[in-house]
Amino acid sequence: MTERTIHALGEAYRRGDTTPTAVTEAYLARIEKFDGHVGAYLTVTREPALRAAAAADARHRARAPLGPLDGVPIALKDVLCTKGIRTTCGSKILESFVPPYDATVVARLAAAGAVVLGKTNMDEFAMGSSTEHSAFKPTRNPWDLARVPGGSSGGSAVAVAAHLAAGAFGTDTGGSIRQPAAFCGTVGLKPTYGRVSRYGLVAFASSLDQIGPFAKNVRDAALLLQAIAGHDPHDATSVAAPVPDYAAALDGRVHGLRAGIPREYFAEGVDPEIARAVRAAIETLRGLGVATEEVSLPTTGYALAAYYLIAPAEASSNLARYDGVKYGLRVPGGKDLIEMSSRTRAAGFGAEVKRRVMLGTYALSAGYSEAYYGRAQKVRTLVRRDFETAFARVDLLLAPTTPNVAFKHGEKEDPLAMYLNDALTIPVNLAGLPGLSVRCGFTAAGLPIGLQLIGKPFDEATLLRVADAYERATTWLAREPALP
C-alpha cells in the first residue's frame, strides 16, 4: 500500500479498495519500523494525521467533491511553519519553537485534504548539502545507509524514496530539492521563484528560497505542485501568474521541442558514470523527437562563488532575529543583552550556520559590501543573461543534476568540497528558474543518478511533460532500495 503513487491512491480511494485511514496507518507503521534506520523524520504527527485521515474517510463516504491529494499522506520539511506543531529548522535554537500559524503551503495542502505524517529532518536552517548538519541526527540514504541523502531537504527525499510518505515538500535555495532527489532517486522539483508562496517558510536566503515537491514519479510531482502553486497576498514576492493544469500537460507529446545541452555542465569534475547516464538519457529524448543542440553558459564557473556571498549575506540578515529575546532558545546568565544574545547564538547555532553568518556579515560590512556582495550581484545578473540567451534558441536545458553521486557520511568534512556538490544546481537559483531532477540511471555500485531539466520562467509544465515522457520510455523506476 505504501508503494503506490499518489495518482494510484486516489483511484483506489474512488473505487473503495482502501481508505485514507488504512493507508495512513500503513505509513505510520512503516515509519515506526524503518525510520530508525534512515532518520527521515524529526517529528511524527500520529494523532493529527489519523484525525485528518478520518475526516478524509468521511468525505469519501459522503461522495463529496474530492481533489487528487484528499487523504494522501505527505511529509513536510521542518522549515515550514505548522500551527501547534514544533518547527525546529534542524536547529537547537528552535528546538522548542511551536508556530502560532500555518505557512501558506501548509494551509493549501490542508485545504486539498492532504494528511501530514510529520516534519522531516534537514541541514540546520537549510544550510548544507548532506543533512549531516542537522542539530539532532543525520539522515541516511536508503540505497546505502553508509551514504548521505543529500541536503538540505534530505529527510523529505528519504521519506519518499523509502516509502515513508506518498509525497513530501522541501525547499531549494541552491539545489536543496534537486540534489537530494538525485542522490535518493526521486523526482524533485524547484519551481520558478515566485510561483509558490514563501509565507511561513523560515527564511535562509530570501531572494533564493523556493518551496517544491518530492515525488515517486513525475505525475505525482505535478499533482503536488498544483496544490501549492499560485499567488498569495501574504507574500510580496509571489507572482500573480496563471497556474496551468500540470497533470493535463503530461500528454507525452514532446516531438519538436528544442533542448539545449550546456557544455559547461559536462566539464571536468563531473563523474564519468553520471556524464554517460545523462548523455544516454538525452539520446532517449532524441528518440522521442526532442531536438538538441549544444549551448554555452559561460558564467557558470563564477556562479558558485557568487552564491556563497549572496546567500550567506541574506542569511546573516535573516538569522539576526534569533537573539534569545522573542522566541526560541535563551541562554541565561549574561550581564546584559549583548552577552545574553552572544551566549544564545553560540549555544544554539551549529558550526555551518556560524560559518555562513560570519561570511555573510563580513561580505556586508562597511568597506567590503561593494567589493563582495555588490560584485556577486553583478555576476548573478550575468548568470541570468546567459540563460536568457540560451532560451532564445531552446525550450529547455538538459544536464546532470549533480557532479557526483551520494557520498559517504563524513567524507566531505572540508566545507569547500561540500559546497562543490551544488555547482550544477546553484545557477538555476541565481536566475530564479524552474528546475527538475528525475532518475536516469544507476552507477555500477547501485546508486541513483539524476537528470536535471531547466526551464524558462514559469514554464514548469514543459519540464514536467518532458520528464514524464522520459520516465514512460525507461524502466528506472522499477528499482527500489532495500531497507534492513
CA–CA gap between residue 57 and residue 437 (Å, rounded):
34
> What are the tens digits of pLDDT across the range 360-411?
999 999 989 999 999 999 999 999 999 999 999 999 999 999 999 999 999 9
Tally of domains in the chain: 1
For residues 411-435, give the mean pLDDT. Answer: 94
- Buried b or exposed e, range 60-75, using 16+ CB within 10 angstroms: beeeeebebbbbbbbb
Question: Among 94-108, 114-128, 156-170, 325-339, which is the least confidently predicted range?
Answer: 325-339
Given this model, what pLDDT does residue 334 score? 87
CA distances from 113 to 20, 160, 284, 340, 344 (A): 10, 19, 37, 44, 39
CA–CA gap between residue 179 and residue 200 (Å, rounded):
23
Long-range CB contact pairs, 388-392, < 8 A, 24+ = 390/260, 390/262, 390/295, 390/296, 390/297, 391/456
Would you say residue 177 lies in a domain?
yes
Would you say residue 174 lies in a domain?
yes
Given this model, what pLDDT does residue 289 score? 98
Would you say residue 66 lies in a domain?
yes
Percent of the chain predicted with pLDDT > 70: 100
Given this model, what pLDDT does residue 227 score? 98
For residues 260-281, give the mean pLDDT. Answer: 96
Given this model, what pLDDT does residue 66 score? 87
For residues 164-182, give the mean pLDDT. Answer: 98
**Residue 127 grid cell:** 544550510
CA distances from 438 to 7, 61, 212, 242, 466 (A): 18, 36, 14, 25, 10
CA distances from 116 to 27, 111, 168, 292, 310 (A): 11, 12, 9, 41, 33
Q: Is residue 65 pLDDT above 90, yes or no? A: no
**Residue 264 grid cell:** 559547461
- Strand, helix or coil at 77? strand
DSSP class per residue in 183-248: HHT-EEEEPPTTTB--TTBPPS-TTT--EEEEESSHHHHHHHHHHHBS--TT-TT--------TTT
Q: What are phi and psi of 42, to 5 degrees?
A: -95, -35
Residues 6+ apart with CB under 8 A from 422: 129, 174, 175, 179, 304, 307
For residues 40-63, give the mean pLDDT. Answer: 96
Question: Residue with C-alpha cell 529532518?
Answer: 121
For residues 413-435, give the mean pLDDT. Answer: 95
> Which domain range does residue 226 map to?
6-260+393-478
CATH code of the domain containing 465: 3.90.1300.10
CA distances from 210 to 121, 126, 192, 198, 201 (A): 17, 11, 8, 7, 9
Which residues are designated catalytic?
77, 152, 176
Q: Is residue 112 pLDDT above 90, yes or no? A: yes
Would you say residue 321 lies in a domain?
no
Would you say residue 255 lies in a domain?
yes
Q: Could you tell me the maximum CA-CA distance found in the chain, to the nearest angstrom?
A: 70
The H or E element spanning position 437 is strand 435-442
Question: Residue with C-alpha cell 524547484?
Answer: 190
Given this model, what pLDDT does residue 413 score? 87
- Residue pair 72/115 in contact (Cβ under 8 Å)? The answer is yes
Mean of the per-residue pLDDT values for the chain?
Answer: 97
Q: Is residue 198 pLDDT above 90, yes or no? A: yes
pTM of the model: 0.97
- Residue pair 20/115 in contact (Cβ under 8 Å)? The answer is yes
Given this model, what pLDDT does residue 64 score? 86
The H or E element spanning position 42 is strand 41-44
Would you say residue 367 lies in a domain?
no
Would you say residue 343 lies in a domain?
no
> What are the tens digits of pLDDT across the range 320-360?
999 999 889 999 888 999 999 999 999 999 999 999 999 99
> What are the tens digits of pLDDT across the range 426-467?
999 999 999 999 999 999 999 999 999 999 999 999 999 999
CA–CA gap between residue 153 and residue 159 (Å, rounded):
10
Is residue 268 exposed (0-12), middle (13-18) or buried (19+ Cβ within 10 Å)? Answer: exposed
Would you say residue 75 lies in a domain?
yes
CA–CA gap between residue 186 and residue 135 (Å, rounded):
25
